[in-house]
């Protein structure tokens, strides 16, 4: 039973390098449009050499997606712990989502755009994490309704529309001209909660920020790829 002193950590490190390059290539050319040879070229590892770290092209996408999703989910659960107010929970969710989105645009585009590329077990496992993630948002929304808010709305439509606003950003957000994560999250959370018509059709701008002003300390955490 050989106990490799070096292999384990170095192997994982190199796998991470490969995954980073693979994510970049998948992002640029799409999963189907990207070839293993593209990833080989980009990462500097030979074509055959890649297969010492992965078993297939599908597994490559799977590893990227599952890691990204589990990370953003764990970060969300952590940020949410201890928070009671449903509306603040929702603001935290939006901040967390967009923060991660703009900090890891490549991986998040892969999550949003390559939703149907995986098959079989890979697909099921990623979908399971996604289900949990959406479930959290739905529960928060139901809590808001329980507190007497948005009773007339279809929760599924409302929550998935919120995800639509957030996830669609990968198609248009340009770092050099658009708001950064914090401002973007404020805007989108504000739109979701109060709409674009502050008041009922005229100007009045109330102080539309009940909570969530100090969730900065919650999110300063270590995240790597």
Residue 202 interacting entry, from DNA, its own copies, none, C-beta within 5 to 8 Å by type: its own copies
Q: CA-based diameter of the chain, in Å?
A: 75
Task: Kindly determine how many residues on this chain lie close enough to bind DNA according to the rule CB under 7 A.
Answer: 26
Min separation Cβ 150 and its own copies, Å: 4
Please answer whether residues 169 and 163 qualify as being in contact, where contact means their C-beta atoms are separated by less than 8 angstroms. Answer: no
Q: Which is nearer to its own copies, 17 or 165 (CB)?
A: 165
Judged by CB under 7 A, does residue 4 bind DNA?
Answer: yes
Please answer whether residues 72 and 192 qualify as being in contact, where contact means their C-beta atoms are separated by less than 8 angstroms. Answer: no
Judged by CB under 8 A, does residue 197 bind its own copies?
Answer: yes
Q: How many CB atoms are located within 10 Å of the residue 6 CB?
A: 7
**Binding to DNA in span 137-176, by CB under 7 A:** none
**Binding to DNA in span 29-58, by CB under 7 A:** 34-38, 45-49, 51-53, 55-58
DSSP 8-state class, residue 52: T
Please answer whether residues 37 and 47 qualify as being in contact, where contact means their C-beta atoms are separated by less than 8 angstroms. Answer: yes
Judged by CB under 8 A, does residue 198 bind its own copies?
Answer: yes
DSSP 8-state class, residue 215: -
Tally the C-alpha atoms within 13 A of residue 63's C-alpha that lie toward its C-beta: 19
> Under the rule (CB under 7 A), what is the footprint of DNA?
2-7, 10-11, 14, 34-38, 45-49, 51-53, 55-58
């Amino acid at each position: 039973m050989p106990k490799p002193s070096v292999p384990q950590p170095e192997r994982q490190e190199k796998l991470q390098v490969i995954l980073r390059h693979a994510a970049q290539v998948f992002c640029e050319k799409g999963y189907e449009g990207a070839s293993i040879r593209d990833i080989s070229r980009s990462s500097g590892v030979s074509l055959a050499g890649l297969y010492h770290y992965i078993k297939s092209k599908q597994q490559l996408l799977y590893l990227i997606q599952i890691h990204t999703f589990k990370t953003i989910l764990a970060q969300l659960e952590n940020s949410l712990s201890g928070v009671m107010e449903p509306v603040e929970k929702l603001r935290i969710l939006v901040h967390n989502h967009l923060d991660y989105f703009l900090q890891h645009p490549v991986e998040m585009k892969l999550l949003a755009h390559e939703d149907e590329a995986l098959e079989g077990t890979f697909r099921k496992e990623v979908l399971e994490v996604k289900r949990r993630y959406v479930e959290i948002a739905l529960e928060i929304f139901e809590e808001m309704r329980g507190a007497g808010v948005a009773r007339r709305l279809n929760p599924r439509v409302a929550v998935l529309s919120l995800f639509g606003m957030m996830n669609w950003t990968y198609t248009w957000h340009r770092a050099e001209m658009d708001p950064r994560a914090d401002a973007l999250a404020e805007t989108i959370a504000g739109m979701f909660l109060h709409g674009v018509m502050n008041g009922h059709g005229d100007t009045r701008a109330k102080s539309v920020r009940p909570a969530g002003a100090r969730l900065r300390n919650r999110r300063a955490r270590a995240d790597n790829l």
